[in-house]
Amino acid sequence: MAATQEKATPCCLDAVPAKSSALLRKASDPMRDWTVSGSDPSQDPIRNRAAVPTLIRPIETLPATSTNTTAAKGIPVMLRAQTSHPLEPLSAAEISVAVATVRAAGATPEVRDSMRFVEVALVEPDKHVVALADAYFFPPFQPSLLPRTKGGPMIPSKLPPRQARLVVYNKKSNETSICIVELSEVHAATRGGHHRGKVISSKVVPDVQPPMDAMEYAECEAVVKDFPPFREAMKKRGIEDMDLVMVDPWCAGYHSEADAPSRRLAKPLIFCRTESDCPMENGYARPVEGIHVLVDMQNMVVLEFEDRKLVPLPPADPLRNYTPGETRGGVDRSDVKPLQIIQPEGPSFRVNGHFVEWQKWNFRIGFTSKEGLVIYSVAYIDGSRGRRPVAHRLSFVEMVVPYGDPNAPHYRKNAFDAGEDGLGKNAHSLKKGCDCLGYIKYFDAHFTNFTGGVETIENCVCLHEEDHGILWKHQDWRTGLAEVRRSRRLTVSFICTVANYEYGFYWHFYQDGHIEAEVKLTGILSLGALQPGETRKYGTTIAPGLYAPVHQHFFVARMDMAVDSKPGETFNQVVEVNVKVEEPGKNNVHNNAFYAEEKLLKSELQAMRDCNPLSARHWIVRNTRNVNRTGQLTGYKLVPGSNCLPLAGSEAKFLRRAAFLKHNLWVTSYARDEVYPGGEFPNQNPRIGEGLATWVKKNRSLEEADIVLWYVFGVTHIPRLEDWPVMPVERIGFTLMPHGFFNCSTAVDVPPNTCDLDLKDNGMTAKPIQNGLLAKL
């Protein structure tokens, strides 16, 4: 993942005057990593750079002195040992070296040719290594991160070598292996194939299937469309042009021993476009029902095929498409005036590689093919108290989409979109649409494809500021004087497409010290076909012969917390807070009393909890050693948003693999290899309760620990007519909010805005309606 050289997004430029094309940066421009979307070119800071401080700060070079040299305060001064921070995402060169190293280690040419590369990820180092890097190797240098030791810290002259972790599928033997490769800067920078890393370990993982890959999906579609019985079945439905047919290969899941991981299986869903020439035609509007297909993805052959029931294709719905001028069968709205986001002096954030500073916040941006966006080392600079850690690592580690229709094929639609596909690998290049507005810092993401090549998603992560309404306001009714501050937030986001649905994942950082996690759901419904005159109890009829099944979306946020804790410290605990109604009696003679009651969650089994809006339930992560000005322990609280639990019965097959959905909150003591709540390989997983539900059986103490929060949140989707042909964005999420963390509101020192505009004489004022017309004054 790297900073990009992307320019302004074309569709956003359409909303500003033509001369704004001057905002497109030349490749030689030192600020080419920035995109300005919807800004006034006359206010372009590039044209006025003499008055604008540099926004991308160069990395400082350490003095090139001997490692034995001692600084004035007794801290050794080191040679600069490496330029990649330990949490920096793998570069394209590092991925190439890692793949070449593993391939070269293959015992025979047949083994090497059979290697398919599912994932290449950074091996994230121990927390003390990260602390050392941030303290002495990478600016801004933060020696306070390291624990104090008698005689001063012993600082090595270099950090440990970076390592890559590879998930490799052997297409010939149907085996999955995990390999660890040691990298170095020499290896990463060298383009010659004879310079490789070093394989540290390699092991076969039995009884698993790794995630599916886009190359496999494309090959599976071609195999199915070329299968004679399938072509014959489509001919019976009036379709002879296979170019109109869409084959979506879904993972088989695990419903019985027939789905065991001894075979790599897919059970595709079939859709068919009309004969329209529209390049963006909504093919999901015509599902093909009644056809059962089972594909061996290892050998790319159709194992089972059955035309079970002839259901007519739904007629072409005139409202099915979503391209300009075709929505709802009419024309696009023409009465929307341009809305420009202008920051004449540039953004307030600063970026150094993947290190971000904004409004007292600082953190690092990372990315993985499975999770997508990862936020590391989140901290807040709090005046004289300095850098105060909040979390070591934040990410979305899994999502599950179970459908509620018991009929085939919908009962087996239980997608694990992170573990079976990879959220990061399905991410968008955000330059292709108006996904963000304003001054934007983009980051690229690098991945391996199935055959071992390196692919880059340009502009994969978006970093930008947003106005967010009022931060706080008060008006004195006696004097009429008012103070108001506008809220600004820093947003880090990425968007991915998994088959028919789009998911946007956002982390918002606010000036008052709170963090909001948000998921935006949009895209196209996964539909089913109906016989003439038929209706379905388990869905909504949205067009003739077409219905949308009820379903749920669940997301799992993993939060490795570090509230006021240095890396590796075990000084956090979790308290549950419920509001209780006071019993009637002498303490509640007016029957109006209620209070907040706290309960310490002492162990992992005790910490399996659910949301309860009736008691305003929330949870606080506290530091057991730090207190605020009133003597209370400092903390951050997790405030749930709207939420739900699975509506499936307790014996539902998908819950074998997704036992983590049974509770909204889980808390564990940090363990390095406990990352994915359903285990690393949920695809065709026969093991019941693997992952989080198994880890908590250790019942480790949480009274003073290195705390990891797992928050499960979801939405129940009962489709509406208004969700067709595209579903408007639906937002769900939660908040991490300071609770006794700061001694007073951090919003007090936010400066006033000069944002009032006098529009009363701008031709906008209107008289009352006269004769049905709105007349100007």
Residues catalogued as catalytic? 417, 501
Q: Which letter, b or e, does each residue of 555-580 get, where b requires 16 or more Cβ atoms within 10 Å of its Cβ?
A: bbbbbbbbbbbbbbbebbbbbbbeee
Biggest CA-to-CA distance, the chain:
90
Per the DSSP assignment, residues forming a β-bridge with 432 are: none
Q: How many residues does the chain have?
A: 777
Q: How far apart are CA 310 and CA 409, in angstroms?
A: 14
Q: How far apart are CA 567 and CA 387, in angstroms?
A: 13
User: 86 Cβ partners below 8 Å, 6+ apart?
Assistant: 124, 125, 129, 130, 133, 159, 160, 162
User: 771 Cβ partners below 8 Å, 6+ apart?
Assistant: none
Give the Å distances, CA to CA, from 267 to 121, 295, 655, 684.
28, 6, 19, 12
Residue type, 498: V
Question: CB 65: neighbour CB atoms within 10 A?
Answer: 13
Q: How far apart are CA 191 and CA 274, in angstroms?
A: 48
Q: How far apart are CA 47 and CA 538, in angstroms?
A: 59
Residue type, 553: H
DSSP 8-state code for residue 614: G
Q: Count Cα atoms within 13 angstroms, Cβ side, for 13.
A: 16
Angle, CA 114 vertex, CA 110 and CA 116 arms, to 5° = 155
Q: How far apart are CA 41 and CA 23, in angstroms?
A: 7
Q: How far apart are CA 491 and CA 475, in angstroms?
A: 30
CB 633 within 8 A of CB 599: no
Q: Where are the beta strands (DSSP E) in 656-753?
A: 665-669, 707-717, 727-739
Q: How far apart are CA 37 and CA 356, in angstroms?
A: 20
User: 52 Cβ partners below 8 Å, 6+ apart?
Assistant: 45, 345, 346
Q: Specify the 3-state DSSP secondary structure of 243.
A: helix
Place of tokens 């954030």: 349
CB 515 within 8 A of CB 378: yes
CB 187 within 8 A of CB 197: yes
Q: How far apart are CA 742 and CA 564, in angstroms?
A: 11
Q: How far apart are CA 751 and CA 772, in angstroms?
A: 45
Q: Where are the beta strands (DSSP E) in 259-300?
A: 265-266, 269-272, 291-296
CB 739 within 8 A of CB 630: no
Helix axes 228-236, 214-225, angle to 10 degrees: 70
Handedness of CA 289, 290, 291, 294 (dihedral sign): positive
Q: Where are the alpha helices (DSSP H) in 53-165?
A: 92-104, 109-114, 127-132
